[in-house]
């Protein structure tokens, strides 16, 4: 007999077996890229200071 966690895991695994794709809005993608670039600049500047 499966315990509650095993049952939930089994149900999640069944749901994940179907391929699913999320359409990403271009504006959201651009926003993410801008945030990533800012983060990268901060990391580079901190590594040069160290």
Q: Is 12 among the domain residues?
A: no
What is the pLDDT confidence band of residue 32, given thresholds at 50, 70 and 90? Answer: confident
Q: Is 24 among the domain residues?
A: yes
Domains: count for the chain: 1
pLDDT digit string, tens, across residues 33-50: 888 899 999 888 888 876
Identify whether the C-beta of residue 10 lies closer than 8 Å to the C-beta of residue 2.
yes
**13-18: long-range pairs with CB below 8 Å, 24+:** none
Q: Is the per-residue pLDDT at 17 higher than 70?
A: no
Q: Is 7 among the domain residues?
A: no
């Amino acid at each position: 007999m499966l315990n509650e966690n095993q049952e939930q895991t089994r149900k999640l695994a069944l749901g994940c077996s179907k391929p699913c794709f999320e359409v990403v809005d271009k504006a959201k993608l651009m926003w993410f890229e801008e945030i990533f670039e800012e983060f990268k600049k901060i990391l580079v500047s901190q590594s040069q200071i160290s």
